[in-house]
């Protein structure tokens, strides 16, 4: 945990949008962009907005910013071994779709994929790849943790192990649920998967991790985790609307076939999965994320910054969870969808429904907030359709859950304002 306290007001000063007084509580759908990011986007468009690869000076600088600076800085956010392992795409979904096409020739009929029915970005591409190649899809589903609340579910390693067999080829998991808010112990899960797969005679297992809901809250470490693929969206990590994908070097060399133009000599680098150029100004803009994160800590260390973020986020999570699990709210029919506890294995993304004798539609709660104004929250399935659809008792997937998703630039005062409106609407 952090050895210093996060200066929230200093952090907020990097986000001009927060000066309006509007409470952004839909951060899992997209955070605000830091000034460092916006300044770089503006700088690129105003001063180096030319095609890459030419010999004149402006193009040389533009090429440096996009093809060198961008991958180098993104590699730090993954703790990747090399910038050559980094792909950029317009979204995490697109990055994983491209990866699935790059892997297509290495997948055989009868291979087995294990997926978590969470964020569809890391489910749909594998489902479609399995259909194209005759592979078999298995699901690692969450199970209840609290008998009194069937919606209080989480992913448990003991439910995953029986799914592994000699035919396991791809395991695609989430690092953090964008509905449940719970963090999956990736290193522990990967170690268990690899040991079980080896014991059962699996020949080749590659592991993909969806960090879209994880990246804003915790430090990613693909090397320590021992994973092959990892993805996150910069626009949920205080950056522009672009995504970064990590592909481990051995997978690039032995599993992935290039999907770019045939004449490009990129067989050993991640660019082989980047058909067409990404948004140049967005790639360069994304290099502003690390300077912002480092500004949060006197140690000038990313891990320390994320430790401080995690500590502050616990102070946001505590009053919100306490309110929702209070006996008064439970009697009203409020049920958290996800774990009901406050701990470092949970981020301040909190989902709930209102059931019981006086049920209340999730949409009605959000409509109430919208009419009051000044606070942004949402309802729905948030592209975790499979998860919401498999919860029992059955939920209406269109109405889904109410989700309040906070990050480190939110304040305790903002949480209390949210609670004031919740008290009104739940009367």
Alpha carbon 374 to chain centroid, angstroms: 26
C-alpha–C-alpha distance, residues 426 and 343, integer Å: 26
Residues 363, 142: Cα–Cα separation, whole Å: 25
Q: What is the C-alpha to C-alpha distance for residues 337 and 354, in angstroms, rounded to an integer?
A: 10
Per DSSP bridges, beta strands 334-337 and 23-24 are unpaired
Residue with tokens 């460092």: 36
pLDDT in tens, the chain (427 residues): 556 899 999 999 999 999 999 999 999 999 999 999 999 999 999 999 999 999 999 999 999 999 999 999 999 999 999 999 999 999 999 999 999 999 999 999 999 999 998 999 999 999 999 999 999 999 999 999 988 999 999 999 999 999 999 999 999 999 999 999 999 999 999 999 999 999 999 999 999 999 999 999 999 999 999 999 999 999 999 999 999 999 999 999 999 999 999 999 998 899 999 998 889 999 999 999 999 999 999 988 999 999 999 999 999 999 999 999 999 999 999 999 999 999 999 999 999 999 999 999 999 999 999 999 999 999 999 999 999 999 999 999 999 999 999 999 999 999 999 999 999 999 9
What is the CB neighbour count within 10 angstroms for residue 301? 14
Q: What is the rounded radius of gyration, in angstroms, for the C-alpha atoms of the chain?
A: 22
**369 close to 375: Cβ distance less than 8 angstroms:** yes
Q: Given this model, what pLDDT does residue 3 score?
A: 67
SS3 state of residue 53:
coil
Tokens 């961008």, residue located: 70
pTM to 2 decimals? Answer: 0.97
> What pLDDT sits at residue 351?
98
Could you give the domains of the chain?
8-33+299-425 (3.90.1150.10), 45-292 (3.40.640.10)
- Neighbouring-strand partners of residue 350: 404
The two structure tokens encoding residue 261: 């133009």
pLDDT for the residue 277: 84
The two three-digit tokens of residue 343, written as one number = 């701990």
Q: What is the DSSP letter of 115?
A: E
Provide the token pair at 331.
């009697």
Do the beta carbons of residue 176 and residue 220 sit within 8 Å? no
């Amino acid at each position: 945990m952090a050895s210093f306290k996060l200066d929230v007001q200093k952090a907020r000063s990097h986000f001009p949008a927060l000066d309006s007084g509007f409470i952004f509580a839909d951060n899992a759908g997209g955070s605000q962009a830091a000034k460092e990011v916006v300044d770089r986007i503006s700088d690129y468009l105003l001063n180096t907005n030319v095609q890459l690869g030419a010999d004149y000076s402006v193009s040389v600088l533009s090429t440096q910013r996009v093809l060198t600076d961008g991958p180098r800085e993104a590699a730090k956010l993954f703790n990747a071994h090399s910038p050559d392992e980094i792909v950029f795409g317009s979204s995490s979904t697109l990055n994983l779709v491209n990866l699935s096409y790059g892997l297509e020739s290495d997948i055989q009929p009868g291979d087995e994929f294990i997926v978590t029915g969470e964020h569809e970005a890391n489910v749909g591409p594998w489902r479609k790849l399995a259909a194209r190649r005759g592979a078999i899809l298995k699901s690692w589903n969450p199970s209840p943790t609290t008998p009194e609340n069937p919606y209080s579910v989480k992913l448990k390693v003991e439910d995953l192990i029986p799914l592994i067999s000699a035919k396991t080829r791809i395991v695609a998991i989430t690092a953090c649920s964008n509905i449940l808010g719970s963090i999956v112990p990736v290193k522990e899960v990967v170690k268990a998967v690899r040991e079980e797969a080896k014991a059962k005679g699996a020949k080749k297992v590659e592991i993909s991790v969806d960090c879209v809901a994880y990246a804003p809250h915790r430090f990613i470490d693909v090397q320590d985790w021992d994973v092959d693929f990892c993805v996150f969206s910069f626009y949920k990590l205080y950056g522009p609307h672009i995504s970064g994908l990590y592909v481990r070097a051995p997978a690039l060399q032995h599993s992935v076939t290039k999907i770019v133009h045939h004449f490009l000599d990129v067989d050993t680098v991640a660019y082989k999965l980047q058909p067409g150029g990404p948004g140049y100004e967005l790639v360069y803009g994304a290099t502003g994320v690390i300077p912002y994160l480092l500004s949060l800590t006197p140690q000038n260390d990313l891990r320390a910054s994320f430790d401080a973020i995690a500590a502050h986020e616990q102070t946001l999570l505590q009053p919100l969870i306490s309110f929702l699990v209070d006996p008064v709210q439970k009697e009203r029919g409020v049920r958290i969808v996800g774990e009901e506890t406050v701990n470092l294995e949970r981020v301040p993304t909190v989902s709930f429904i209102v059931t019981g004798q006086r049920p209340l539609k999730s949409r009605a709660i959000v409509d109430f907030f919208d009419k009051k104004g000044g606070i942004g929250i949402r309802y729905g399935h948030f592209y975790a359709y499979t998860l919401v659809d498999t919860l029992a008792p059955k939920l209406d997937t269109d109405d889904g859950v109410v989700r309040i998703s906070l990050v480190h630039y939110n304040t305790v005062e903002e949480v209390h304002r949210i609670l004031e409106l919740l008290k009104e609407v739940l009367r």
